[in-house]
Amino acid sequence: MRRKKGLQSLAAPWQLFDDERTWFMVTVPVHEWFLEEDDTVNDSVNDTVKLLQQPINLTVRQLEIVEMIALNDRVTAEEMMGRCNVSMRTVKRDIAQLKKMGVLIRVGSDKTGSWLVAREV
């Protein structure tokens, strides 16, 4: 009621309130980009589904790494390096590619965590 009297005291040329209404309507201007559909969640879910449906082509070395992890989920990069007879950088690059393809997931920390083979190869 105080607001009504305060607004009416501004002497606006139009009537702000109708005494018989118990509600009011407000029109808020909105920028057009706000009305566009935000499909971020669906896009990321759809991208994941598409990724999992794609056939994966692994190198022989990447297959060896996946087999080592399947046998021992706490296998170290040093052990992979020794068994595959490659540099540490190569092992890390292969692991990064396997993670990106959704084949491997690291569970826990780098030091005390373990590997999970998330996708059949």
Residue 21 token pair: 């209404």
Q: What is the pLDDT of residues 34-49, one digit of tens each?
A: 666 666 656 666 666 6
pTM, to two decimals: 0.56
CA–CA distance, 73 with 36 (Å, rounded to integer): 45
CA–CA distance, 16 with 1 (Å, rounded to integer): 13
Q: Where are the domains of the chain?
A: 57-117
Task: Tell me the average pLDDT of the chain.
Answer: 78
Architecture of the structural domain at 57-117: Orthogonal Bundle (1.10)
